[in-house]
Amino acid sequence: MSSFSSIVEGRDSWSAHSSIPRHRHERPYAALILSGGYQESGSRGRYRVGSGHVLFHRTFDAHLDRFESQGAEILNLLLDEEPQFALGFLSDPDAIARTAETDAAAATRALREQLAPVEPRAADWPDLLARDLLEDPQLRLDEWAECHGLTPATVSRGFAKVFETSPAAFRAEARAQHAFALITAGSRSLAGIAAAAGFADQAHMTRAIRALTGRPPGHWLRSNWFKTPRTGHSISEA
């Protein structure tokens, strides 16, 4: 994925049985589902969402969406902070949508006040594999397949069908996201971060960060991008 997809704050409608191929955004944002439902398969797993659910996306997360028989209406809200969990639920999404018509920042504050985190449930083995890869980016895929009574070829094909990327690429992205979070925290040297994130060496990490973000680690180590105001809104609880 060599380019980033833009996010337009506000309402977004999708027709029944439509789909969005895997893509990546360079901004964190929240997607509040106002009506309908869909599946989103992305950097933090697969989620099945409907009215009232809120999907949170970190900077440089990738995902694809498959809409169901009713399509979906979504409210996108840009964020100024990285969300700490991926899925939440609101009791009154329409109130947030009405507020957003005149004040997106107020809508984000109201969303924060209503928000309750939701623990996703793994429905089948691709979900389980995504969860395990996120928990352990050093996971051996052949050993995982054998443990679950699957062949490596079956694991590769089945996972790619759900996520539009291979398990190995998903694992590499999880490792890069972990390193990116450590880099932007600014508390360690690049060599130390490479070791902590499980890279073979600093050069290996540099290639992974450039592939994820379009820029080398040194750029993010020097940048105050996460520390200065941007067009977006804070939701530190997310």
pLDDT tens digits for range 7-27: 989 999 999 999 999 999 999
pLDDT lower than 50: segments of the chain: 1-2, 227-230, 234, 236-238
pLDDT for position 238: 37
**pLDDT the model gives residue 178:** 93
pLDDT at res. 237: 40
pLDDT at site 63: 97
pTM confidence score: 0.89
Q: Which pLDDT does position 186 carry in this prediction?
A: 79
Q: Is the dihedral of CA 137, 139, 144, 145 positive or negative?
A: positive
What was the pLDDT predicted at 15? 97
Candidates 205, 201, 124; CA nearest to 172 is 205
Q: Which two tokens stand for residue 6?
A: 């833009």
Question: Residue 121 has what pLDDT?
Answer: 83
SS3 32: strand
Q: What is the pLDDT of residue 225?
A: 53
| Residue-level pLDDT at 228 | 47
Q: Tens digits of per-residue pLDDT, 190-226?
A: 999 999 999 999 999 999 999 999 999 999 987 655 5
* Ranges assigned E (strand) in 1-100: 10-14, 19-24, 29-42, 45-50, 53-57, 62-78, 87-89
Three-point CA angle 219, 223, 225, nearest 5°: 125
What confidence score (pLDDT) does residue 232 get? 56
Predicted pLDDT at 236: 46
Asked if 221 and 186 touch (Cβ cutoff 8 Å), the reply is: yes
Kind of pairing between the strands at 19-24 and 62-78? antiparallel
Domains, the chain: 10-117 (2.60.120.10), 125-222 (1.10.10.60)
